[in-house]
Chain A
Amino acid sequence: MDGVEDDDDLLRGPTQELELGSDDDEEEEEEELPVKLKSKKSKQADRPLKIIPTASDASSEESDDDNEDGRVTMKNIEARSRALDAKAAREAELDIEEMQQAALAGEESGDDFADADMDEEGEGGEGSEEFVLPTAEQREEEKTRGGPDVHTVQRRMRECVRVLGNFKRLAAKGRPRAEYIQQLISDIASYYGYNDFLAEKLFQLFPVAEAIEFFEANEVPRPVTIRTNTLRARRRDLAQALINRGVNLEPIGKWTNVGLQVFESSVPIGATPEYLAGHYMLQAASSFLPVIALGPQPGERVLDMASAPGGKTTHMAALMQNTGVVFANDANKARVKSLTANVHRLGCKNVVVCSYDGREFPKVIGGFDRVLLDAPCSGTGVISKDASVKTNKSERDFTLLSHLQKQLILCAIDSVTPDSKTGGYLVYSTCSVTVDENEAVVDYALRKRPNVKLVETGLEFGRPGYTSYRGKTFSDKLNLTRRFYPHVHNMDGFYVAKFKVEKRAKVKSDKEETAAGAGGADADVEMNEPTFPFNEDEDRPYIEENERRRMKAKSRKAPPQTKPVPVAAGGDPAAPS
Chain B
Amino acid sequence: MRPLTEEESKTVFTKLANYIGKNLVHLIDRQDEPHCFRLQKDRVFYVSESSMRLAISVARPNLVSLGTCFGKFTKSGKFKLHITALDYLAQYAKYKVWIKPNGEMPFLYGNHVLKAHLGRITEDTPEHQGVVVYSMNDTPLGFGVTARSTVDTRKLDPTAIIVFHQADVGEYLRDEETLF
Give B149-180 as 1s and 0s: 1 = Cβ < 8 Å from A's Cβ atoms: 00000000000000000000110110011011
Task: Tell whether B17 is near chain A: CB-to-CB under 8 Å.
Answer: no
- Answer whether A350 and B48 are a contact pair too, CB < 8 Å, given A276-B169, A341-B180, A344-B69: yes
Task: Tell whether B62 is near chain A: CB-to-CB under 8 Å.
Answer: yes
Interface-central residue, A270, A279, A325, A340, by most chain B CB under 10 Å = A325
- The minimal Cβ–Cβ distance linking B172 to chain A, given in whole angstroms, is 5
Are B177 and A301 within 8 A (Cβ)? no
Task: Tell whether B64 is near chain A: CB-to-CB under 8 Å.
Answer: yes
Interface residues of A in 251-281 (CB under 8 A from B): 270-271, 273-274, 276-279
- Answer whether A353 and B66 are a contact pair too, CB < 8 Å, given A337-B177, A341-B179, A365-B58: yes
Task: Tell whether A191 is near chain B: CB-to-CB under 8 Å.
Answer: no
Give B36-68 as 1s and 0s: 1 = Cβ < 8 Å from A's Cβ atoms: 000000000001101100110111001111111
Q: Say which residue of B64, B141, B179 sits within 8 Å of A353 (CB atoms).
A: B64
Q: Taking CB as reference atom, which chain A residue is nearest B83?
A: A344
Q: Say which residue of A276, A279, A349 sits within 8 Å of B68 (CB atoms).
A: A349
- Answer whether A352 and B170 are a contact pair too, CB < 8 Å, given A341-B176, A344-B69, A347-B87: no
Q: Taking CB as reference atom, which chain B residue is nearest A356?
A: B62
Are B173 and A301 within 8 A (Cβ)? no
- The minimal Cβ–Cβ distance linking B93 to chain A, given in whole angstroms, is 15
- The minimal Cβ–Cβ distance linking A329 to chain B, given in whole angstroms, is 9
Q: Residues of B contacting A356 with CB < 8 Å?
A: 58, 62
Docked complex Cα distance between A68 and B104 (Å): 67
- Answer whether A341 and B55 are a contact pair too, CB < 8 Å, given A349-B67, A353-B65, A354-B64: no
Are B172 and A273 within 8 A (Cβ)? no
Are B176 and A338 within 8 A (Cβ)? yes
Are B108 and A340 within 8 A (Cβ)? no
Docked complex Cα distance between A340 and B178 (Å): 11
Task: Tell whether A291 is near chain B: CB-to-CB under 8 Å.
Answer: no
Are A273 and B51 within 8 A (Cβ)? no
Q: Residues of B contacting A336 with CB < 8 Å?
A: 64, 180
Interface size class of A (residues with CB under 8 A): 20 to 34
Q: Residues of B contacting A325 with CB < 8 Å?
A: 50-51, 54
Q: Taking CB as reference atom, which chain A residue is nearest B107?
A: A273
Are B58 and A364 within 8 A (Cβ)? yes
Docked complex Cα distance between A347 and B84 (Å): 8
- Answer whether A354 and B58 are a contact pair too, CB < 8 Å, given A276-B169, A276-B170, A349-B67: yes
Interface-central residue, B57, B63, B105, by most chain A CB under 10 Å = B57
Docked complex Cα distance between A274 and B141 (Å): 10
Q: Residues of B contacting A353 with CB < 8 Å?
A: 63-66
Q: Taking CB as reference atom, which chain B residue is nearest A357?
A: B62
Docked complex Cα distance between A347 and B89 (Å): 13
Are A337 and B180 within 8 A (Cβ)? yes
Docked complex Cα distance between A438 and B65 (Å): 32
Are A277 and B48 within 8 A (Cβ)? no
Q: Taking CB as reference atom, which chain B residue is nearest A244?
A: B101
Task: Tell whether B135 is near chain A: CB-to-CB under 8 Å.
Answer: yes
Are A354 and B173 within 8 A (Cβ)? no
Are A364 and B57 within 8 A (Cβ)? yes
- Answer whether A350 and B179 are a contact pair too, CB < 8 Å, given A271-B173, A336-B64, A355-B64: no
Q: Residues of A contacting B65 with CB < 8 Å?
A: 340, 343-344, 351-353
Docked complex Cα distance between A338 and B55 (Å): 20
Docked complex Cα distance between A271 and B173 (Å): 8
- The minimal Cβ–Cβ distance linking B70 to chain A, given in whole angstroms, is 11
Task: Tell whether B139 is near chain A: CB-to-CB under 8 Å.
Answer: yes
Interface residues of A in 533-550 (CB under 8 A from B): none
Interface-central residue, A354, A355, A364, by most chain B CB under 10 Å = A354
Interface residues of A in 346-393 (CB under 8 A from B): 347, 349-356, 364-365
Give B102-145 as 1s and 0s: 1 = Cβ < 8 Å from A's Cβ atoms: 00110010000000000000000000000000010101110000
Q: Residues of B contacting A340 with CB < 8 Å?
A: 64-65, 69, 179-180
- The minimal Cβ–Cβ distance linking A271 to chain B, given in whole angstroms, is 6
Interface-central residue, B59, B170, B180, by most chain A CB under 10 Å = B180
Docked complex Cα distance between A277 and B104 (Å): 12
Q: Residues of A contacting B58 with CB < 8 Å?
A: 352, 354, 356, 364-365
- The minimal Cβ–Cβ distance linking B89 to chain A, given in whole angstroms, is 13
Are B68 and A277 within 8 A (Cβ)? no
Q: Taking CB as reference atom, which chain B residue is nearest A237?
A: B137
- Answer whether A277 and B140 are a contact pair too, CB < 8 Å, given A341-B176, A341-B180, A356-B62: yes
Give A311-346 as 1s and 0s: 1 = Cβ < 8 Å from B's Cβ atoms: 000000000000001010000000011111101110
Q: Residues of A contacting B180 with CB < 8 Å?
A: 336-337, 340-341
Q: Taking CB as reference atom, which chain B residue is nearest A322?
A: B48
Are B176 and A352 within 8 A (Cβ)? no
Q: Residues of A contacting B55 with CB < 8 Å?
A: 352, 354
Q: Residues of A contacting B69 with CB < 8 Å?
A: 340, 344
Q: Taking CB as reference atom, which chain A residue is nearest B67?
A: A349
Docked complex Cα distance between A180 and B68 (Å): 60
Docked complex Cα distance between A347 and B177 (Å): 19
Q: Taking CB as reference atom, which chain B residue is nearest A241?
A: B137
Are A345 and B54 within 8 A (Cβ)? no
- Answer whether A277 and B54 are a contact pair too, CB < 8 Å, given A341-B176, A344-B68, A354-B62: no
Q: Taking CB as reference atom, which chain B residue is nearest A276?
A: B169
Are B62 and A276 within 8 A (Cβ)? no
- The minimal Cβ–Cβ distance linking B48 to chain A, given in whole angstroms, is 7
Top 9 nearest A-B pairs (CB, nearest first) are A276-B169, A365-B57, A353-B65, A344-B84, A353-B64, A340-B180, A352-B66, A354-B58, A352-B55
Offer 27 A-B interface pairs, CB within 8 angstroms, sorted by A.
Answer: A241-B137, A273-B141, A276-B173, A277-B139, A277-B169, A301-B54, A325-B50, A325-B54, A327-B54, A336-B64, A338-B176, A340-B64, A341-B180, A344-B65, A344-B69, A347-B87, A349-B47, A349-B67, A350-B67, A351-B66, A352-B63, A352-B67, A353-B65, A354-B55, A355-B62, A356-B62, A365-B57
Give the A-binding residues of B (Cβ under 8 A): 47-48, 50-51, 54-55, 57-59, 62-69, 84, 87, 104-105, 108, 135, 137, 139-141, 169-170, 172-173, 176-177, 179-180
Q: A341-B179, A364-B59 are in contact. List 6 more A-B contacts (CB 8 A).
A: A327-B54, A336-B180, A337-B177, A340-B180, A341-B176, A349-B67
